[in-house]
Amino acid sequence: MAPGQKTSMEYVRLGVARVAELGSRYDAGINTFDTANMYSNGESERILGKAIKEFNLPREEIVVLTKVYFSVKKDNKATATSPNWNDENGYVNQHGLSRKHIFDSVKASLERLQLDYIDVLQCHRFDYNTPIEETALHDVVKAGYVRYVGMSSCHAYQFAQMQNYAINNKLTPFISMQNHYNLLYREEEREMFPTLQLFGVGAIPWSPLAQGLLTRPRDAEKTARSQTDIYTKGYGNNEGTRKITSSVEQIAKKYGVSMAQVSLAWVMSRPGVTAPIVGTTSLDNLKDLLGAVHVKLTDEDEKELEEAYQPRGLFGHT
């Protein structure tokens, strides 16, 4: 979820409305909130922190997840366009998983969130330039800034390498993987999910609704997000994608539920998935998504949803 000001992405809602939505989510039984330091250049964390304070959410009852890796831009219009962009534009030591950046980023996130600690600090990406022997993730836990650490959007061999090093050296191991997974993108089933099961780590997939593509028929009116989101084009408009979307629509009609509920129910039923990460643009959408917990798909439903899948190239991480 990325609440923030209407800056680089047209679909991102204004902060005041987002605060109200976050309070309503807690009232609906949602106690886990995911964000990142770079979402809306820090504004997402500020809005989440404001909501926690404004609605007096019990700290012991909520779980706050944020991320470290990307730089937080000083200019909302700034966009990294090359591997060396950060260093060439005044963001030296403000990105990646170096010891300095991890500590600086965690302290900045805590300030924006107005919290004393982060429940789960996730590495937003794998850092090819910092040795995995770096112990800063363990040290921020020991210092009391962070309770647990998680990983996000990397290759299975990278996760296995980092997790094995942590375990063998008695460092804080990863407890979660926030990976890209939905009916239109199932490449994680090949190596990542078996790896997670090997280590007993839960998956909390992002984009379980394929950036909204699985919530409406293919010929429906396009949303602002579908026209601007960089990942939407990655799903393509091939025959497999069209068949899967059509199957979701037909099963939704059969049960009298929304396409979003069917798509989310499928993700939640997958082995190894603890809980998907979902975002909404309205309270009505939130209420609809909550209904997914009551949707029970049959073996025949799952077969229909899955059989048209076509392998695709990896995207969503590097």
Catalytic (active-site) positions? 39
Of 276, 273, 258, 161, nearest to 214 by C-alpha is: 258
Asked if 150 and 159 count as a contact pair (C-beta separation under 8 A), the reply is no
The answer to whether 5 and 43 are in contact (CB under 8 A) is yes
Say how far residue 93 (Cα) sits from the centre of its chain. 24
Measured CA angle at 18 (ends 14, 20), to 5 deg: 130
* CA angle 135–91–104, rounded 5-degree value: 40
CA distance 5 to 130: 32
Distance of CA 15 to the CA centre of its chain: 20
Between helix 43-54 and helix 99-113 the angle, nearest 10°, is 40
